[in-house]
A and B are shown apart, each in its own frame.
Chain A
């Protein structure tokens, strides 16, 4: 797991498959380690649809973002995968 964190220090982003290839292991191994690092609070999962996660200027205060042009549509940007970043101290 230290090896994953060390790789991330170079600033490049990698897919799970690329990490597995670079570290000579399987994607499943990388996945369980990502889960571990996330559980330990060392890495953090990014909100998948950033706009939907927080109300925008246009619908601020209203209970729903439905129909608001500023918000990511609820059905939009769902299939973008998952992203993690190292939690800054």
Chain B
């Protein structure tokens, strides 16, 4: 009792145990908020009166346990050790006693009178739990009370338990846990040699357990006391006992040893005192499938493929809209010419702007579709299962499970994937992950490629997409074989624990907001790149004579064509491939300019009759054969992602050498792939 004749109650509990609610309800407006001396942790004190007795309530900082790993825990311990509290009220969440009683278990061995408050008993009741409070009290030897903060009637029980704890000075029974601790050899030894009255209020049971855990302040106190007593033999015995619980292989062995006993003690405590309805721990049907060792992978692959096919459906209206925009080209050109607009400007507007815009709108359809379908998969919880299934595949690539996330992010953007490798602490693994992430088709690829595939292959486009995914897996496997040995040493792989999110229904409004936002962002980004590249190539294709043969683009293009033919690409598609290194959208910019038909830059002479077709889709279809188209699509897909991804790779790897190696590898790889695809295409069509 403090000098003012008040009884001091300290509230002890884990975060979210309802401490603050109780504190506010007890003290009302009579509160004082400050800081604990020398710490940035908030100190809250308050007052109340009950039955003519004054009480002071101290809200101890919320912490997981009473170890010395944080400021909060040290403050709590010091406060209790300071003897300032007459009684400690320990809070636990009734709805999950197995975990929330850990604080109580860690309090065992402290001699300050206490009582247990089982908060949120209403939730536990809803779950069908029955808590035999009297039996629990008997086992613990302290008052215990079922409580739920919002219910006024509970406060009577609270005041009753408080009064009993204060008047009877009840201390928590430590014998059961002491017995469990005694299974640890070092515990018994340490307990036997502890000096008396080492820390006021803390019994040898608590102190020896903390010493086994390697608790810094406790060990320091014991060492100091033993040194002061000058008993060299005892000191050596202590050090020997300590050494036995801090092996090199498992640094935290002591913590695990006592921790396991504390949980076992909780289980013993709850065994006859708490009954709950038998819980079905069976996995849901879909989880049984996704986590199946054999069927998990096929299930995930089929899900992804179906998702991709499904994403074509919302894209169709955009395709029609984009083509409609493209068809505006001829009327606009006529209108402008009729209005006496200079030929140059007419060409710029119709060839660069309208064509590009038509293309971009078609692309956005796929951005919208893919974002919607995969956003939905993520929202309902399937994405997490996909990442779970592929996690174990990572070891086949020489990687840790941590690489799954960067790969998934790379489907959106390779830069994001590269930044995501920061969770990987091993440099070689990090570089390898980035090198492999480049093979993952990014968001821009998902915009450009399905659209191009639809132009040339129509309903066969999903097949092209499936082929791209198959090649991606092969590419990643091959790349890991090529670079793996240089970057990753075969080391022990540590498994990961995953808490899969529960399945839930999608929030459609939020999902659509997200998808539309992403589509809008993509639109402006793509618009910039496409228009810039289209304009650049339009300039290059311009000649004073008006003849394409005199333009710089044509001269360079035809000069390099013998070389580009090696990969099955004409000079036009090769130029588009080169532009795709800057950003995948660049390819579209080039195509829309080079293949534009008439006007100042007359490609008609190059491309013959086809140039008269009004629509770019038809133009492409007529001037580029399917084998070349396939070669081109694959070359663009597996080319380096973009110039910014290159910068991101350098930023994350801090290695110009490896950034250059990866970039060169992807450029060459894309061309080899194009060559192979072209020759396969020749056999097919």
**Is B a genuine binding partner of A?**
yes
Residue positions of A touching B, CB distance < 8 A:
1-2, 4-5, 7-21, 26-29, 31-36, 39-43, 46-47, 50-51, 53-58, 60, 67, 69-73, 75-86, 88-89
| Residues of B close to A85: CB separation below 8 A | 400-402, 494, 496-497
CB of B514 within 8 A of CB of A75, answer yes
Contact sample, A vs B, 14 pairs, CB 8 Å cutoff? A1-B260, A4-B497, A9-B494, A10-B495, A13-B496, A14-B496, A16-B499, A36-B263, A57-B652, A69-B521, A71-B415, A72-B412, A76-B378, A80-B501
CB of A26 within 8 A of CB of B495, answer no
At the interface, yes or no: B302 with Cβ under 8 Å from chain A? no
Interface with A: B141-149, B307-315, B380-388, which one? B380-388
Complex CA distance for A31 and B98, rounded to whole angstroms: 10
With A56-B415, A60-B651, A76-B378 as known contacts, state yes or no: A40 contacts B495, CB within 8 Å: no
| Residues of B close to A88: CB separation below 8 A | 425, 494
| Residues of A close to B255: CB separation below 8 A | 40, 42
CB of B413 within 8 A of CB of A70, answer yes
| Residues of B close to A82: CB separation below 8 A | 498-499
With A26-B279, A57-B651 as known contacts, state yes or no: A19 contacts B497, CB within 8 Å: yes
CB of B418 within 8 A of CB of A84, answer no
| Residues of B close to A21: CB separation below 8 A | 281
Complex CA distance for A46 and B494, rounded to whole angstroms: 14
Q: How far is the CB of A39 from chain B (nearest CB, A)?
A: 4
Complex CA distance for A57 and B492, rounded to whole angstroms: 31
CB of A35 within 8 A of CB of B99, answer yes
Choose from B408, B443, B497, B651 the contact partner of A83 (Cβ within 8 Å).
Answer: B497
Complex CA distance for A42 and B64, rounded to whole angstroms: 15
CB of A8 within 8 A of CB of B496, answer yes
With A2-B256, A26-B281 as known contacts, state yes or no: A12 contacts B420, CB within 8 Å: no
Complex CA distance for A68 and B313, rounded to whole angstroms: 27
At the interface, yes or no: B406 with Cβ under 8 Å from chain A? yes
| Residues of B close to A77: CB separation below 8 A | 378, 383, 405, 408-409
CB of B260 within 8 A of CB of A14, answer no
| Residues of B close to A34: CB separation below 8 A | 497, 499
Q: How far is the CB of B447 from chain A (nearest CB, A)?
A: 12
CB of A69 within 8 A of CB of B413, answer yes
Which among B64, B402, B405, B652 has the greatest number of chain A C-beta atoms within 10 A?
Answer: B405
| Residues of B close to A26: CB separation below 8 A | 279, 281
Query: Chain B: which residue is nearest A31 at the CB level?
Result: B99
CB of B98 within 8 A of CB of A28, answer yes
Choose from A2, A40, A72, A76 the contact partner of B375 (Cβ within 8 Å).
Answer: A76
At the interface, yes or no: B612 with Cβ under 8 Å from chain A? no
Q: How far is the CB of B512 from chain A (nearest CB, A)?
A: 11
Q: How far is the CB of A26 from chain B (nearest CB, A)?
A: 6
CB of A1 within 8 A of CB of B496, answer no
At the interface, yes or no: B525 with Cβ under 8 Å from chain A? yes
CB of B419 within 8 A of CB of A51, answer yes
CB of B405 within 8 A of CB of A50, answer yes
CB of B291 within 8 A of CB of A15, answer yes
List which B481-497 residues lie within 8 A (CB) of chain A: 492-497
Query: Chain B: which residue is nearest A84 at the CB level?
Result: B497
**Interchain residue pairs A-B with the least CB separation, the first 9:** A70-B415, A11-B493, A50-B420, A32-B99, A57-B648, A8-B495, A56-B419, A13-B496, A51-B416
Query: Chain A: which residue is nearest B644 at the CB level?
Result: A58
Q: How far is the CB of A28 from chain B (nearest CB, A)?
A: 6
Choose from B98, B99, B420, B498 the contact partner of A72 (Cβ within 8 Å).
Answer: B420
CB of B494 within 8 A of CB of A11, answer yes
At the interface, yes or no: B395 with Cβ under 8 Å from chain A? yes
Choose from B405, B408, B416 the contact partner of A56 (Cβ within 8 Å).
Answer: B416
Choose from B250, B263, B495, B510 the contact partner of A33 (Cβ within 8 Å).
Answer: B263
| Residues of A close to B423: CB separation below 8 A | 46-47, 50, 53
Complex CA distance for A86 and B250, rounded to whole angstroms: 11
CB of B259 within 8 A of CB of A15, answer no
Query: Chain A: which residue is nearest B405 at the CB level?
Result: A50
CB of A2 within 8 A of CB of B409, answer no
| Residues of B close to A28: CB separation below 8 A | 96, 98-99
| Residues of A close to B443: CB separation below 8 A | 69
- The number of chain B residues touching the other chain, given as a range, is 35 or more
Q: How far is the CB of B393 from chain A (nearest CB, A)?
A: 10
| Residues of A close to B263: CB separation below 8 A | 1, 29, 32-33, 36
CB of B422 within 8 A of CB of A43, answer no
Q: How far is the CB of B642 from chain A (nearest CB, A)?
A: 9
CB of B648 within 8 A of CB of A13, answer no
| Residues of A close to B496: CB separation below 8 A | 8, 13-14, 46, 83-85
CB of A13 within 8 A of CB of B412, answer no
What 1/0 mask marks residues of chain B from 244 to 287 whose CB sits below 8 Å from any chain A CB? 00000011100110011001000000000000000101010001
Q: How far is the CB of A22 from chain B (nearest CB, A)?
A: 11
With A5-B250, A40-B255, A46-B402 as known contacts, state yes or no: A71 contacts B500, CB within 8 Å: no
Complex CA distance for A31 and B97, rounded to whole angstroms: 12
Choose from B260, B283, B291, B383 the contact partner of A2 (Cβ within 8 Å).
Answer: B260
Q: How far is the CB of B602 from chain A (nearest CB, A)?
A: 37
Complex CA distance for A14 and B499, rounded to whole angstroms: 9
CB of A15 within 8 A of CB of B499, answer yes
Query: Chain B: which residue is nearest A38 at the CB level?
Result: B64
With A8-B495, A14-B495, A79-B381 as known contacts, state yes or no: A54 contacts B422, CB within 8 Å: yes
Q: How far is the CB of A84 from chain B (nearest CB, A)?
A: 4
CB of B384 within 8 A of CB of A79, answer yes
At the interface, yes or no: B392 with Cβ under 8 Å from chain A? yes
Complex CA distance for A5 and B585, rounded to whole angstroms: 47
Query: Chain B: which residue is nearest A67 at the CB level?
Result: B521
Query: Chain A: which residue is nearest B652 at the CB level?
Result: A57
Query: Chain B: which residue is nearest A73 at the CB level?
Result: B518
With A50-B422, A76-B375 as known contacts, state yes or no: A81 contacts B260, CB within 8 Å: no
At the interface, yes or no: B391 with Cβ under 8 Å from chain A? yes
Query: Chain B: which residue is nearest A57 at the CB level?
Result: B648
| Residues of A close to B65: CB separation below 8 A | 39
With A40-B259, A57-B648 as known contacts, state yes or no: A7 contacts B495, CB within 8 Å: yes
Which among B65, B252, B395, B443 has the greatest number of chain A C-beta atoms within 10 A?
Answer: B252
At the interface, yes or no: B102 with Cβ under 8 Å from chain A? yes
Beyond A1-B256, A8-B495, A40-B259, 14 additional pairs, beta carbon < 8 A? A7-B495, A13-B401, A13-B495, A13-B496, A16-B498, A18-B291, A31-B99, A40-B252, A51-B416, A57-B652, A79-B378, A79-B381, A85-B494, A85-B496
